[in-house]
Structure 1
Amino acid sequence: MKKELRILCPNGHLGFAPTKEESFHIGAKTKPDYYCSDSGSDDIGASALGSDRSVSMYKWQKHDLELMLLAARKQGVPMIIGSAGDTGANSRVDMYVQIIKDLAKEHHLPPFKIGYFYSEVDKKYLTDKLQNEVVIEGLDGRSKLTREDIEKTDRIVGVAGIHPFIKALDMGADVVIGGRSSDVAIFAAPAILEGFPEEQAYYAGKVLECASFCAEPYGAKETVIATVSADDVKVTAMHPDQRCTIASVAGHAMYERSNPYYEYFAGGMLDMTNCHYEQFDSKTTRITGQKYVPIDGNIKVKLEGASKVGEKYIGIAGVRDPYTIQNIDIVLEFARKQTAKEFDGEKYHLNFRTFGKDGVMGPLEPVKEIKSHELGIVVEGVADSKELAEALTLFATRQIFYARLPEVKGTAGTAAYLIDDVIYAGSTYSWSINHVVPVKDPLELFNVRIEEVGRIV
């Protein structure tokens, strides 16, 4: 067992925007033990998973993979990617595996092994669970999973923990491409494999998952390195002008949860109640006191599923007339009611999103003074067909211009200006599955494969 393990993270969401190269190369020169990055999130919404696409540009994803691959292969250490291609769907894993193969050929790399696993879950697997009276519990207030939930869902992924990454590394993989994965597991897996305590491994994963978001001043897409030992975790910013401080590291570790002191994983919980933070040097914070507490013997895998809602169009309107601005809630309620009359009997969804307005008020609340001199209103119309969605959005957007306010004396054109067309925004989806399924084996949903790639020299 090594005394320390150093893990480099260059980007909090690989490919979402390109990794900054200067701090990456500074980090690479220190020769870390692993290059790891998360490449996906459910923060991007359900539509990418449902429509089986990426939300990140292919060029940016290839750029980031190339940086990591060349550095890792030059140094001869592993590279790990989780949630490939934003969603971790099977097609995204295949795309990343192909990019790695193409880069190996392009750069004439010596042979190396690539391990990968898929995360998509077959509907029959879940219906069989229900048939056998297995309870699949909902998260965030959702009810238990039903057959109807499964049937209406277009695509489902399981969120992998550390186990498929460890298996791929055990099989000799030099590069690991994961399907949908826990952000933390991507970094915790190599540390646990190397024999470091779970509390240090999982904490390192938590602090590394968003890369330089744990540093100050704020700057995204910059490289950070976590150093894991048996007793502590130290995290260091690589950008010359960034520092990992007590405030920046603690603040990042405790965000994104209802209880800021606990992070849950399959079968256990990271307890940060007694974490101690100290400034180790000008760019590094040292963390001690975290504990990993097993909850029970039951292993559960989180499921994410996306269901198509319909086709979406977007309209845009701007308002500069002071009187209309002060009465914008009345204007939008007028547009909503007129649309309901015009499309009576049709199934649709309609949203008005107002930008530039002080505070958040419903359409029927009393209007307070709005200080903005201009409002931007985005109208979202969703229906089963593109034709209906387009007509719905056009009509609703134009009703903002036609709104009837009592103090307007027949003057036209003072209320609003419009982009006199609407924009097709593609198919839109919602989260239909956000549940946890009990499994007997943590690898039950994740079949790890391995191949050799690269030029024979």
Structure 2
Amino acid sequence: MKKELRIVSPNGHLGFAPTKEESFYLAKATKPDYYCCDSGSDDIGPTALGSDRSVSMYRWQKHDLELMLLAAREQGVPMLIGSAGDTGANSRVDMYVQMIKDIAKEHRLPPFKIGYFYSEVDKDYLYRKLDENVPIEGLDNRPNLTKSDLEKTDRIVAVAGIHPFMKALDLGADVIIGGRSSDCAIFAAPAIREGFPEANAYYLGKVLECASFCAEPYGAKESVIGTITHEDVKVTAMHPEQRCTVASVAGHAMYERANPYYEYFAGGMLDMKDCTYEQYDEKTCRITGAKYYPAEQIKVKLEGSGKVGEKFIGIAGVRDPYTLQHIDDVIHFARAQTEKEFQGKEYHLHFHMFGKNGVMREMEPVKNITPHELGIVVEGIAKDKTLAEELTLFATRQIFYARLPEVKGTAGTAAYLIDDVIYAGPSYEWTMNHTVPVKDPLELFDVHIEEVN
């Protein structure tokens, strides 16, 4: 049994913006045991999943995969990627597997084994669960899943825990490309498989998932290394000017949580309320005291996306002082005129105002001060593309035509606008943020392995 394990995390979201090479090569020089990276998130919104595409540039994704693959193969240590291609959909897994093969061929790498797993869930599987009266519980105050929710859904992914990564490692994989995955599981899986405590392993994943976001001063896309032992977790910044401090690591561990001391996984709960943080050396923070409680029943998170319609965007600006003082009336007029013109039609219309809520003065917001100028973005969505364009054009122009009681005669002083609208592509919504109980943690994940020559 190993006394410690060292994992490098080079990027908090592989390919979203390119990994910084200087700190990566510094990390590589320390010869870590694993190269692990998360490549996706639901933070990007539902459109990428629904339309089955990436939001990251292919060139950036290849850059990051190439850095990791060449380093891992040179050392002969495993490389793990989760949530391939931003969403973890099947097509994104296939894309990453092909990229790995192409990079290996380009650099004439010796043969190695690649493992990969899919995360997409067939709607019929969930229809059967509902017919069997299995509760598919909503997260974040969503009601339980209904057949109506399923009907509105175009694509579903299950969020993998540690199990498909561990299975691929057991099958001898040197490189693993995962479908949609829990961020922490990508790092926790090798540590748990190597015999380290689950509490420390999941905390290791929690602190490494966003790479250098756990360091100070703030700097993204820089490498950090996590070291796990049977007693503690240590995290070290690789960039010469960054440090992992008590404040930066504790702050990152507890960000974005309704209850900052707990993190829930498919297999249980990480309890961080008794964690102790200490400055181990200038660039390293040491953490002890994490606890882990296995779940009585394994539940897998599901993310689903469905198309709402086609989207156009209009842009208007307002500088006239009187109009600025009555901007709420202007928007009310534009909305009312649009409702009258498109009565009986199904659409969604949003007015986003930038600059309305005061100005910044010495870094403090000053409220109730009329701004010099407002930018207004009009978002129109309808199932029919022509209707969506007409809707957005009409609503944007009504800002220009608003009838205010003290305006007498002269037109054109209230607003200026781009006298056209921009097609923004199809618009999607999250239709599913739920958990489904499973008997086998691998039930929804199809693991494959093959030789790359």
TM-score category, normalised to shorter length:
over 0.9
- The code of the aligned residue for 2:46 comes to A
Residue 365 (structure 1) aligns with: none
CA distance in 2, matches of 1:154, 1:326: 44
Residue 181 (structure 1) aligns with: 181
Within 5 A, what are the aligned runs for 1:360-371? 369-371=368-370
How far residue 371 of structure 1 moved from its aligned partner, in angstroms, is 4.0
CA distance in 2, matches of 1:406, 1:225: 64
- Say which SS state the counterpart of residue 351 (structure 2) adopts: strand
CA distance in 1, matches of 2:326, 2:281: 55
Residue 57 (structure 1) aligns with: 57
More deviation, 101-110/145-154: 145-154
- The code of the aligned residue for 1:399 comes to Q
Within 5 A, what are the aligned runs for 1:190-269? 190-269=190-269
State whether structure 2 residue 96 is matched by structure 1 residue 111. Answer: no
Residue 362 (structure 2) aligns with: none
CA distance in 2, matches of 1:228, 1:153: 40
Count of matched residue pairs: 446
- Say which SS state the counterpart of residue 228 (structure 1) adopts: strand
Residue 270 (structure 1) aligns with: 270
CA distance in 1, matches of 2:200, 2:430: 33
CA distance in 2, matches of 1:370, 1:64: 46
Q: TM-score, normalised by structure 1?
A: 0.96
Distance 1:175-1:146 versus aligned 2 partners, 3 A rule: same
Deviations 1:395-450, CA, capped at 9 Å, x for gaps: 11111111112222222222111111111111111111111001000000001100
CA distance in 1, matches of 2:288, 2:174: 31
Conserved 8 A contact 1:326-1:369? no
- The code of the aligned residue for 1:308 comes to K
Conserved 8 A contact 2:228-2:234? yes
- The code of the aligned residue for 2:329 comes to I
CA distance in 2, matches of 1:273, 1:195: 24
- Say which SS state the counterpart of residue 389 (structure 1) adopts: helix
Residue 34 (structure 1) aligns with: 34
Conserved 8 A contact 2:319-2:374? yes
Residue 84 (structure 1) aligns with: 84
How far residue 206 of structure 1 moved from its aligned partner, in angstroms, is 0.4
Deviations 1:154-174, CA, capped at 9 Å, x for gaps: 001100000000000111100
How far residue 372 of structure 1 moved from its aligned partner, in angstroms, is 2.4
Residue 426 (structure 1) aligns with: 425
Residue 320 (structure 1) aligns with: 319
CA distance in 2, matches of 1:422, 1:189: 48
- The code of the aligned residue for 1:344 comes to Q
- Say which SS state the counterpart of residue 277 (structure 2) adopts: strand
Within 5 A, what are the aligned runs for 1:402-421? 402-421=401-420
Residue 373 (structure 1) aligns with: 372
CA distance in 2, matches of 1:70, 1:322: 60
Residue 293 (structure 1) aligns with: 293
CA distance in 2, matches of 1:394, 1:402: 13
How far residue 359 of structure 1 moved from its aligned partner, in angstroms, is 5.9
How far residue 70 of structure 1 moved from its aligned partner, in angstroms, is 0.6
CA distance in 2, matches of 1:153, 1:20: 37
Deviations 1:261-314, CA, capped at 9 Å, x for gaps: 000011311000111000111111000011001231x11100010011000001
- Say which SS state the counterpart of residue 408 (structure 1) adopts: coil
CA distance in 2, matches of 1:140, 1:359: 31
- The code of the aligned residue for 2:211 comes to A
State whether structure 2 residue 289 is matched by structure 1 residue 282. Answer: no
The runs of 5 or more residues in structure 2 that have no matched partner are 360-366
Residue 69 (structure 2) aligns with: 69
CA distance in 2, matches of 1:344, 1:200: 59
- Say which SS state the counterpart of residue 357 (structure 1) adopts: coil
CA distance in 2, matches of 1:338, 1:56: 39
Conserved 8 A contact 2:114-2:451? yes
Conserved 8 A contact 1:325-1:370? no
CA distance in 1, matches of 2:302, 2:358: 35
CA distance in 2, matches of 1:440, 1:109: 40
- Say which SS state the counterpart of residue 50 (structure 1) adopts: helix
- Say which SS state the counterpart of residue 287 (structure 2) adopts: strand
- Say which SS state the counterpart of residue 278 (structure 2) adopts: strand
CA distance in 1, matches of 2:135, 2:79: 37
Deviations 1:56-98, CA, capped at 9 Å, x for gaps: 1111111110111111111111100000000000000000000
- Say which SS state the counterpart of residue 43 (structure 1) adopts: helix
Conserved 8 A contact 2:358-2:370? no
CA distance in 1, matches of 2:321, 2:238: 49
Residue 350 (structure 1) aligns with: 349
Residue 363 (structure 1) aligns with: none
CA distance in 2, matches of 1:225, 1:372: 46
CA distance in 2, matches of 1:113, 1:252: 35
How far residue 193 of structure 1 moved from its aligned partner, in angstroms, is 0.6
- Say which SS state the counterpart of residue 80 (structure 2) adopts: strand
Conserved 8 A contact 2:358-2:371? no
CA distance in 2, matches of 1:178, 1:397: 44
- The code of the aligned residue for 1:94 comes to D
- The code of the aligned residue for 1:79 comes to M
State whether structure 2 residue 169 is matched by structure 1 residue 166. Answer: no
Conserved 8 A contact 2:269-2:293? yes
- Say which SS state the counterpart of residue 270 (structure 1) adopts: strand
Runs of at least 4 residues of structure 1 off by over 6 A?
A: none
Deviations 1:2-23, CA, capped at 9 Å, x for gaps: 1111110011111111111111
- Say which SS state the counterpart of residue 54 (structure 2) adopts: coil
CA distance in 1, matches of 2:373, 2:425: 29
Conserved 8 A contact 1:49-1:87? yes
CA distance in 1, matches of 2:7, 2:209: 11
CA distance in 1, matches of 2:102, 2:18: 19
Conserved 8 A contact 2:334-2:398? yes
CA distance in 1, matches of 2:371, 2:204: 44
Conserved 8 A contact 1:326-1:370? no
